[in-house]
Structure 1
Amino acid sequence: MDLKRVLAAGLTAAILSTTPALAAGCGNGAPGFPGWLAQFKAEAPRYGLKPRVVESALSGVSYDSKVIRLDRSQHSFKLSFEQFYAKRVNNAMIKRGQQLRQSYAGVFRRIEQRYGVPAPILLSIWGLETNYGGFSGNMPVLRSLATLAYDCRRSRFFTEELVAALMIVQRGDMRPSEMRGAWAGEIGQTQFLATNYVKYAVDFDRDGRRDLIRSSADALASTANYLKAHGWRAGQGWGPGTANHNVLKQWNKATVYQKTIAVMASKIAQ
């Protein structure tokens, strides 16, 4: 790791440890958003963000009422496992995962050698999150995160995410216009939160950028890096009751999602 990356890693750690103290307040409804955004811009440089980066990245960002509606209407995880699995997985997805396991065999082999995470688990997550990179979202990440950071319901959490997203821009991994994702700001082919992007994204294809949107290799290796960091045990199973199944709980808190990852991965492995 060169000096530049060492310094960047230290700066990232400092940002993520101090962001909760970022005190731009919060609000409910569009009228207060411009004032909040101006205050955020003024305070964000205290956390290692360059004023020109913040101003440029957040120029023209506005309140998005659609994001708030979506935040208030999440129902999928109230389904039973059988209902959730039937809604999210089908035989075509399993077959596609098996095909991709062959076509990306070299990438998966190198990833498993480095991180210990096998292809079926990564394929299952990849398929569930974005249909193997087919659709990773088209909403402007910075607009979504700014809206949610301003909103009082989870302001502190999303303020951290907004600061991390701006760090992604600052370190040159993506331009603001490239950062399009899910309504809550998840980014890339396996839907990383911005804080996890900063901490775990890797440049596996060695093109100089950690690009989890356009590089499948970066996205898959970054996912493996995340799982390894959370305790994945190489060479072991992932069914309920195993240490690796507990790691899946760190990927997604919903029990139905964890079980779906495990079951889908086992079918892909056949």
Structure 2
Amino acid sequence: MRLLILALFSQFLVLAATPALAASCGNDGRGFNAWRDAFIEQSSRYGLKQRVVKSSLQNVTYNKKVIRLDRNQKSFKLSFNQFYAKRVNNAMIRRGQKLGKTYARTFRWVEKKYGVPSPVILAIWGLETNYGGFSGNMSVLRSLATLAYDCRRSKFFTNELVAALTIVQRRDMTPAEMKGAWAGEIGQTQFLASSYVKYAVDGDRNGKRDLIRSVPDVLASTANYLAKHGWRRGQGWAPGSANYNVLKKWNKASVYVQTISVMAEKISE
């Protein structure tokens, strides 16, 4: 009995130390407004200023579309040849080569600082958003708030929501400017908000880290991400290399990583 009491008491302490948000998730929109208001009230627990969180979230509503997209994810089973043919063509390679020349000065600075060559960054840039052609038009805060409230992956997306609000708090972007993909990916190379906070760089030196509109910020931040994950300066990125393993930290899908590698090689020709 004593052990049972101690176990229950320990469990109580753990629960007491955990924000109440984890216990108030939901599988439909009925409890969202209460959850949102509680999140705002408890925002200081996450190191956020309540006035920032309130102004950012007070009018945010539950998004059924985001939940539908989250539930309908299908893991593709394409071969590398099928995936590459679907995502890459000669026009993309040529455009990557052209952009490499257009931003040659920025790329030289980026490679000198981070050690990541331009073809690799260009391949990622092209694959993620067609070189910034479309990086998403959904409210990042609305998407992340919906997914943080949803019970399926509440802890993961609560962390991402806190990170997105941190971006707002440090004045890199306003809530209205923060548009992205349905799961909250931000910018021209689709950073998660947590990666944005950790690795975004002010490449154009204007005092903000803007991965939606600033190409220098995008290029430098992408290189910084790879560098911080172990990119080896002066080495290649073919399968089996240390740098190929770094690319796996960008995206876990093997066909995606192989496509980055091959596309970067073609851009470098």
Q: Same fold (TM over 0.5)?
A: yes
Query: Within 5 A, what are the aligned runs for 1:14-163?
Result: 21-25=18-22, 26-75=25-74, 77-163=76-162
Larger displacement relative to structure 2 (22-31 or 104-113): 22-31
User: What's 1:192 paired with?
Assistant: 191
Aligned-partner Cα distance in 2 for 1:253–1:21: 30
Summarize deviations over 1:196-244 as a string: whole Å, max 9, x none.
0000001010011000100011011001000000000011110111000
TM-score normalised by L of structure 2: 0.91
Q: Which residue of 1 aligns with 2:8?
A: none
Give the match for residue 266 of structure 1. Answer: 265
Cα displacement string for residues 103-143 of structure 1 (whole angstroms, at most 9, x for unaligned residues): 11100000000000000000000001111011110000000
* Whole-Å separation in 1 of the counterparts to 2:34 and 2:101: 52
Deviation, structure 1 residue 76 = 5.6
For residues 21 and 261 of structure 1, the distance between their equivalents in structure 2, rounded to whole angstroms, comes to: 40
For the residue of structure 2 that corresponds to 1:177, the secondary structure is: coil
Once the two structures are TM-superposed, the CA of residue 91 in structure 1 deviates from its matched residue by 0.8
Distance in 2, Cα, partners of 1:38 & 1:78: 41
How far apart are the structure 1 equivalents of 2:231 and 2:76? 24
Gaps of 5+ in 2: 1-16
Amino acid at match of 1:51: Q
Aligned identity (percent) is: 71
Question: Residues of 1 paired with 2:30 and 2:255: CA distance?
Answer: 38
Question: In structure 2, how many angstroms separate the alpha carbons of the residues matched to 1:68 and 1:84?
Answer: 26
Shift of 1:59: 2.1
SS at match of 1:124: helix
Question: 1:206: which partner in 2?
Answer: 205
Q: One-letter code of the match for 1:254? A: A
* 1:73, distance to aligned residue in structure 2 (A): 2.0
Count of equivalent residues = 251
Please list every run of 5 or more consecutive structure 1 residues that lacks an aligned counterpart in the other structure.
1-19
C-alpha RMSD of matched pairs (Å) = 1.2
